[in-house]
């Protein structure tokens, strides 16, 4: 019976084993560049007083950072409140 040397890492048994190492875009999340462009567009919409709920709804599922996701979720909640008039 042949054994692998202890100092060599074992190959993962499936692609899922490497998911935590994959690029955000590969996993369906927005890249840093996409998030930066989105935040710029969001700030412009907010400054101009334009509705931006739809922008937020489209981007939220792509945001991997928990803190940013919470912040954008709060903005969406506030915008929905404004849009609904409550």
In the numeric block, which tokens belong to residue 35? 């998030």
User: pLDDT tens for residues 17-51?
Assistant: 666 677 778 778 999 999 999 999 999 999 999 99
User: Can you give the residue range of the structural domain that contains 59?
Assistant: 31-84
Confidence band for 85, pLDDT divided at 50, 70 and 90: confident
Tell me what pLDDT residue 82 has.
84
Whether residue 24 lies inside any domain: the answer is: no
Residue that is written with structure tokens 């998030």 in the block: 35
Residue 51 in any domain: the answer is yes
pLDDT, tens digit, for every residue of 56-72?
999 999 999 999 999 99
- Residue 64 lies inside a defined structural domain of this protein: yes
CB atoms within 10 A of CB 86: 6
pLDDT digits (tens, 9 = 90+) for 69-79: 999 999 999 99
Q: Is the pTM of this model over 0.85?
A: no
Res 15: pLDDT: 62
Instruction: Please report whether residue 25 resides in a domain.
Output: no
Distance CA 84, CA 77 (A): 11
Number of domains present in the structure of the chain: 1
Does residue 43 belong to any structural domain of this protein?
A: yes
Residue 2 in this model has a pLDDT that exceeds 60: no
Token pair, residue 29, equals 């999340």
């Amino acid at each position: 019976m042949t054994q692998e040397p202890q100092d060599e890492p074992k190959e993962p048994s499936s692609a899922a084993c490497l998911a935590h190492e994959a690029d955000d875009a590969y996993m369906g999340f927005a890249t840093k560049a996409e998030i930066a462009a989105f935040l710029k567009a969001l700030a412009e919409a907010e400054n101009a007083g334009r509705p931006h709920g739809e922008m937020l709804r489209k981007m939220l599922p792509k945001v991997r950072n928990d803190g940013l996701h919470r912040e954008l979720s709060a903005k969406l909640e506030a915008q929905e409140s404004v849009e609904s008039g409550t």
